[in-house]
Amino acid sequence: MQALQISVDVVMERVPLASRWQSETWRPFAVVPSLATEDAVGACVALDAEGHRWRFPGHVIELHPVEAEGYFLNLTSPAPCVFVMWRAVEGSAPPAATPVLVTVSYNEAGRLMDGGERVDSVAMPGGIADWVRPFVAEHYKPEPRRKVKRNDPFAEGAFVRSPRGAGPERS
């Protein structure tokens, strides 16, 4: 089955810091439905005169049936979010951060973080949540609960005692 896709743009934000070791930090600010035209894909655009926010077009959120549990966990959380994996670009002119991957799966984001990648979350727009819900309803099937058998202390033969003196002999 082919994955469902939606085009999105990632808005990255530069935050000035009052630190002697670092003058600024970057973080994802928002994920919005894509407005990019064919010729603008891949070209980042400053959204304000100071260069504090940059829009990166051309990203895609894909939905795969095997990730349905991760989408379900995200949608049922108190604050659904979109996860952005991004990398810093050292020694370059602004923007000094580049988004690499966008996902709505808790499980995929967790695997990326376990692999040492930088992943931050932003609030999920209502349009993206409305797009994910029908997919989750169709593909997410919770695992059936399994009955756990526990040791029953009153079951027949639960406590079998050896007769006195049947153990190893002591000298």
Q: What percent of the chain clears pLDDT 70, i.e. is strictly above it?
A: 76
pLDDT class for 146, splitting at 50, 70, 90? confident
Question: Residue 169: inside a domain, yes or no?
Answer: no
- Say yes or no to pLDDT of 91 above 90: no
Distance CA 23, CA 85 (A): 22
Number of domains within the chain: 1
Distance CA 57, CA 52 (A): 17
pTM reported for the whole predicted model: 0.77
Question: Residue 166: inside a domain, yes or no?
Answer: no
Please answer whether residues 56 and 44 qualify as being in contact, where contact means their C-beta atoms are separated by less than 8 angstroms. yes
Which range scores top for mean pLDDT: 58-72, 89-103, 151-165? 58-72
pLDDT computed for residue 51 by the predictor: 65
Question: Residue 35: inside a domain, yes or no?
Answer: yes
Query: Within 57-168, where are the H helices?
Result: 68-75, 106-114, 126-139
The closest alpha carbon to 102, from 32, 52, 2, belongs to: 32
Question: Residue 151: inside a domain, yes or no?
Answer: no
The closest alpha carbon to 139, from 84, 74, 70, belongs to: 70
Question: Residue 157: inside a domain, yes or no?
Answer: no
Find the farthest-apart pair of alpha carbons in the chain and give their distance in angstroms, rounded: 93
Domain span at 96 = 4-139
pLDDT class for 39, splitting at 50, 70, 90? very low
